[in-house]
Structure 1
């Protein structure tokens, strides 16, 4: 196992590969009005990621999940396929057990802001590669062109070397869902405040093999209850790790 520190890459005890995401600033959200999509990406706001962190190069695979959890919940089976049919609570249990295995508390889900910052990788376009939907299939499984999840890392990576940030599976992040960015933090930390009149939902990012092109944009957001596995053959996770 390579040691985590100031290196640009890190591989842990079960083979999860991480990329160092540098500190920096970006504009989170979008003013684009997409047909048949949600108006939950506004207002655009400035985020300062003040501390570098690691983010897994790929979605967590079924082989990695089984090594920690001892079972495979996935609908679309395959060692190198991303694990699917997991709730947010399941993701937290995986993180807890991985931290215990490695004697650390550094593993976690990324915040929503960290996720979008890493997905954009310095870009300001709809996707990390530009604005053209005609190029999307080079980077993304989406829109039911191919039914089900696919092995990780088969498409082109984003500029920071992260794979499947667009499509394949939706990815759980840490935050409680709000239907706008009003009141969002400016430091990139996760939002844990709740509107007590509403049922708590957790945020999903990135789109899936079933999602429209609009839903696979860098700014797109969705949500599920933290306990649900309904329709979650479209849902997986990617890990962050403190440096």
Structure 2
């Protein structure tokens, strides 16, 4: 019967006998177990029968957990005058992505948790767009240890174009380990898409809630270092002070990522100053109706409007401005606070606009 389906092909006598027995209509003449079939197939393939003819199950190996690397860092706390009052060691895990040509990207594991987003009314030089304070729950995710550098930008910009062209060297201040700047929000979205396609992971901009949660790293003070900021800890316009803090240097340019060796408690560097960091969210002028799930506050996650048309009218009236966080090398210190918010047109190419990337956490096997 089975020979009718060979279409002119031939099989050996040995294999023919095995197939005949498999298709035998008389039950007692058929193979009585898988082990018998396995033994005959071993003989057909030229293998010597072992004493144990029981077929071995196919073992499908579980993919290994993504390689992680633990690293240590200093966590500094200052008092209201900017004087160091504590320094402790912290530890975190990161995943190192190989971008090619010797360029890597370090992504820190950010644990999930719940925090209070925004500034209290009593926070010095805070504004109403940072209120009302509200509770937000964040799922675990990965975030760049540093702002994206010019070396990383150049490497990913060399990957195949998806939607728009990217300048491989857009920055005003040149240096492979300096943060990339003069990149628009649209440029950054394209860069993340190219990276995602090459690496096979969903790289993206962080939501505004994710950014503040990661920046605070469990703190509730204006800065993750405490109640003020100093230019020994961050790159901003030190000609101006915050609260009772001291004046300091005004470098008038970006500094290499990680130059300030103190990180926050999650292991993130350069959170305050250096370059403003784009977030995924469109701008809202307050937190009224903000989501509590840590997602991007867009048309699919907006509690203020009765319908999509009402949202769209507001969206267009705000000209699609996008959120920026963290302050920059030319910012006053109050603009570097964890709660501070700003916005720009997504086409803007200022020399203080950069970003750091986020990504969904790897799926780890139990």
Fold match (TM-score > 0.5): yes
Question: CA separation in 2, counterparts of 1:6 and 1:64?
Answer: 20
Q: What residue number does 1:130 align with?
A: 226
What 5-or-longer segments of structure 1 have no aligned partner?
none
Q: What residue number does 1:221 align with?
A: 341
Question: CA separation in 1, counterparts of 2:327 and 2:155?
Answer: 26
| Cα deviation digits, residues 85-142 of structure 1 (max 9, x gap) | 00000000100111111133x1111100000000000000010011033xx3232100
Following superposition, the deviation at residue 19 of structure 1 comes to: 0.8
Query: Is 2:121 the counterpart of 1:24?
Result: no
Question: CA separation in 2, counterparts of 1:215 and 1:209?
Answer: 11
- TM-score of the pair, normalised by structure 1: 0.92
Query: Is 2:295 the counterpart of 1:189?
Result: yes
Q: What residue number does 1:9 align with?
A: 94
Question: CA separation in 2, counterparts of 1:5 and 1:25?
Answer: 27
Runs (4 or more) in structure 1 with deviation over 4 Å come to none
Q: What residue number does 2:179 align with?
A: 82
Q: What residue number does 1:67 align with?
A: 155
Following superposition, the deviation at residue 34 of structure 1 comes to: 3.9
Question: CA separation in 1, counterparts of 2:134 and 2:252?
Answer: 35
Following superposition, the deviation at residue 9 of structure 1 comes to: 1.1
| Residue from 99, 113, 127 that aligns with 2:196 | 99
Give the aligned length: 235
Following superposition, the deviation at residue 39 of structure 1 comes to: 2.8
| Cα deviation digits, residues 161-216 of structure 1 (max 9, x gap) | 10000000000010000010011100100111352433211000000001111000
Question: CA separation in 2, counterparts of 1:227 and 1:178?
Answer: 18
Query: Is 2:357 the counterpart of 1:239?
Result: yes
Contact 1:3–1:10 (Cα < 8 Å) also in 2: no
Q: What residue number does 1:110 align with?
A: 206
Question: CA separation in 2, counterparts of 1:27 and 1:236?
Answer: 26
**Greater RCO, 1 or 2 (C-alpha within 8 Å, sep 6+):** 1
Following superposition, the deviation at residue 33 of structure 1 comes to: 5.1
Q: What residue number does 1:170 align with?
A: 276
Following superposition, the deviation at residue 3 of structure 1 comes to: 6.1
What 5-or-longer segments of structure 2 have no aligned partner?
1-63, 70-92, 159-167, 239-249, 300-310, 362-366
Contact 1:33–1:39 (Cα < 8 Å) also in 2: no
